[in-house]
Structure 1
Amino acid sequence: MVERFAIAPQVLDPIETHINYTIDGLIGLLNVRRAQLLRQVHNMREDERAAEIARQEMSTQLIEAHAYLQGHLKENPLQSMQERITKEMEDKLRDLRNNIPVESVLKWQCDTRELETCISHLGDIVQESVGVPKYSTFQMSTVATEKKGSGPGQLNDPQGVAIHEATNQIYVANFYNDRIEIFSDAGEYLNQLGVRQLNGPWGIAIHGENVYVSCWRDFTINQFTLTDMSLVRKIGGKGSNNGQFNFPRQLTTDPIGHVFIADQLNNRISIFDTDLNHLRNITHHSMSKPVDVKVSRDRVYVLCLYNNPCMLVLTLEGDKLHSLITRGQGMDVLCPLFFCLDPLNNFVTSDQDSHSIRVFSPEGNLLHKIGTEGHQQGMLYSPQGIAITSNGRLVCVSYNKNYPLQIFY
């Protein structure tokens, strides 16, 4: 008979079991800590790389900013503008240095040496503001169009003028040709807008890719988009209700795109949003037949043809602050229909009766007179719309039968 023996199960030492469990736990914790440290190192390297990329991008931006200054501020900026730009660039350099890893400091110093030299050269720029026309030295003008007519680029009774801020292209309300003509800031004819869609265009304003045109014959405001040069919407009709007009004249936009319209015979400024939804009106008992309007900071400037003084300065709420520019005395304007503001907030006004352009200080003092009566180059005859490009060119249209659009330098 064969005996069967049962194999006794192995009995583990409790102490050994506890030691093994403890060791396994420590290994697990070490692995977790190792993973945490590796992640921290990875993040630190990523942060360093991101800081280096940001430094390179900022360095590129600063160098481009300097190139912009060298290329576009050759017209000699004001000392205050020069000092502000210099301080901003130096502050950016200081902030960047404080955020650069230690091992990158030497390379950063080498990279910025040329930039710091460029900053020091800002002190060599003479004092005069960019974009302000040199009114006192205007002698000749570039001729954008010759002879009035109905062909592409020809004008017949031009009225309002607007400048596209990004391109400096010139947009002219071509009244009797019922369209908008587009020119480069050198006077080259480029394109047309609103053909067979406008009825007596008078005023024009541009904000971003939106173009707003007031039309006299059908009392409407028309919105176009430059994306595809199409008509987006048309509002209005003759009347005195909100959204109606009684001979809408020139219009303008504020920095956020609200449209301000000089509604002449309703004796008000009508304000709309970017989609031409009516917001409110500005009225004042001293506002009589407004023909042009501009907005600058927290001020609304309204040109009233039959007022004396003819320029009202109002708050955005319509409260009158004061009046400027007396009509018919000495060298002042006689029959102003359009005006614009230069970067120094001077008023530049076209005057039909004296066939000239007058420049007034923000206080209303006459600074310059431009143009003489005639139909030759450099002469004006009943000047209408005026505007200033960002590079300081003064654009003016008039009834000059030979040169209806001229660009003064």
Structure 2
Amino acid sequence: MATSNPIGLEPVEDNFERVRTGIDYSSKMQPLVSISQREIGNIEPKRPQGVTIDDRTGDIYILDWFDNCVKVFDSTAKYMFKFGHRRGEGMMSYPKSLAICRSRIIITQNHGILNYSLDGEYISRIGMHGNGELEFSYPWGIAINESNNDIYICDCSNNRVQILSQDFQFKSQLGSFKYPRDVKLSKEYIYLLNNSNPCIHLFNHNHILLKSVISRGQGNQVINPLSFSIDISNNILIADYSSNSISIFNPEFQSIHNIPVSKQPTAITVDTHDRIIVVCYHNVNCLLIF
């Protein structure tokens, strides 16, 4: 595996009781690890669209849009295994995003969602094409409410977010927003990203819109945001596909830092050790860890 400056990239250990403080993003200008498909061959994600972390182990799960599968790396970015059906009920078709809910991993794809175990065993498929309950049109970002395991799914072309129970029953929805692409939850808020301007919408957990923030467009704060993450201090990290950067905003939505990346970042997450994991669509340096 090709790496750059792997010093300090040790296996993640369970340590959920430690005191969390603000992250010094100014120290994160160069990646600890940089994986390139030119150097690794078929192991690396060719066209990654989504990334998530198993907080219990630090394992990194990456959706590969090109190979229609999930590729799994350990906390040191060592390749472990991949999974995904190419035929039948569990077939992946242009997967977009993924999230871990208890011992399962939930994947959005064309007009539905897939339910797999964390070791790659297919469990079920939910949804069909349409605009009713449990019907989808190009679902994208996905998030889990840690308090009750509700599943929030950006139903992109239906301009809404569907909210399902952990056993995949329809509960409610948020709408209407043009092309919602990603959704994240904190204890206090629901954050929704879309391709309009402003691009971040902030709700409370009663689904009341509080504000819409962060300008989008050439010459503004972000150009083409595709994915985002919320860190332990409620800072917002946005993967800006067209500017080849990670734009970081504080909880008051003020720009505080910008991290350049290699090419076209499509998804981002932050792990329990404050490392930033970014996947990029272009075929150079497609997995970065800061």
Fold similarity call, TM over 0.5: yes
Equivalent residue, structure 2, for 1:362: 251
SS in 2 for 1:136: helix
Match of 1:214 in 2: 108
| Map 1:291-310 → 2, pairs under 5 A | 291-305=181-195, 307-310=196-199
Cα distance in 1 for partners of 2:36, 2:217 equals 32
Is the CA contact (8 Å cut-off) linking 1:350 and 1:358 kept in structure 2? Answer: yes
Q: 1:177 and 2:59 equivalent? A: no
Maintained 8 Å contact 1:175/1:200: yes
Separation in structure 2 between the aligned mates of residue 364 and residue 169 of structure 1, nearest angstrom: 30
Quick check: 148-157 or 164-173, which moved more? 148-157
Select the residue among 200, 220, 223 that pairs with 2:94: 200
TM-score of the two chains, using structure 1 as the length reference: 0.63
The higher relative CO (CA closer than 8 Å, separation ≥ 6) is in 2
Residue 233 and residue 151 in structure 1: after superposition, are their counterparts in 2 closer, same or farther (change >3 A)? farther
Change (3 A) 1:133 1:200: farther
Q: Is the 8 A contact 1:149 1:156 kept in 2?
A: no
CA shift digits 1:106-153 (9 cap, x unpaired): xxxxxxxxxxxxxxxxxxxxxxx1xx5431011321335322699652
C-alpha offsets along residues 280-304 of structure 1, whole Å, 9 cap, x if unaligned?
A: 11124xx221000011124211001
Q: How many aligned positions are there?
A: 272
Counterpart AA for 2:202 = V
2:217 is aligned with 1:325 = no
Counterparts of 2:116 and 2:123, CA distance in 1: 5
Gapped regions of structure 1 (runs ≥ 5): 1-67, 79-128, 372-378
| Counterpart-to-counterpart distance in 2, 1:133 and 1:141 | 15
| 2:142 pairs with one of 222, 247, 251 | 251
State the 1:348 CA deviation. 0.3
User: Within 1, Cα distance between the matches of 2:42 and 2:151?
Assistant: 29
Runs of 4+ aligned residues of structure 1 deviating over 6 Å after TM superposition are none
**RMSD (Å) for aligned C-alpha atoms:** 2.2
Amino acid at match of 1:381: K
Aligned counterparts, 1:95-244, within 5 A? 129=21, 133-143=23-33, 145-147=35-37, 152-196=42-86, 197-216=91-110, 219-226=111-118, 229-244=120-135
Aligned twin of 1:395: 277
Distance 2:29 2:174 in 1: 40
- C-alpha distance after superposition, 1:292-338 (max 9, x if no partner): 00111242110011x21110011233221111111136561010010
Partner amino acid, structure 1, of 2:97: G
**Counterparts of 1:166 and 1:303 in 2: how far apart (Å)?**
27
Deviations 1:79-99 (A, max 9, x none): xxxxxxxxxxxxxxxxxxxxx
Question: Are the aligned partners of 1:211 and 1:225 in contact in 2 as well (CA < 8 Å)?
Answer: yes
Output the amino acid matched with 1:254.
Answer: N
SS of 2:215's partner is: coil
The alignment partner of 2:26 has SS state of: helix
What amino acid maps onto 2:122 in structure 1? L
Q: How many angstroms apart in 2 are the aligned matches of 1:166 and 1:280?
A: 30
Secondary structure of the corresponding residue to residue 157 of structure 2: helix
Q: Name stretches of at least 5 consecutive residues in structure 2 with no aligned partner.
A: 1-13
So what's the TM-score if we normalise by structure 2? 0.87
Deviation of 1:221 after TM superposition, in Å, equals: 0.3
User: 1 or 2, which has the higher strand percentage?
Assistant: 2
AA partner of residue 279 (structure 1): K
Query: Quick check: 2:263–2:280 contact (8 Å CA) kept in 1?
Result: yes
* TM-aligned CA deviation for residue 395 of structure 1: 0.3
* Bigger proportion of residues as helix: 1
1:336 and 2:228 correspond: no
SS of structure 2 residue aligned to 1:222: strand
C-alpha distance in 1 between matches for 2:34 and 2:57: 17
Change (3 A) 1:153 1:344: same
Q: C-alpha distance in 1, partners of 2:40/2:139?
A: 24
In 2, are the aligned partners of 1:202 and 1:214 still within 8 Å (CA)? yes
- CA displacement at 1:278 relative to structure 2: 1.5
Aligned to 2:234, the other structure's residue is in SS state: coil
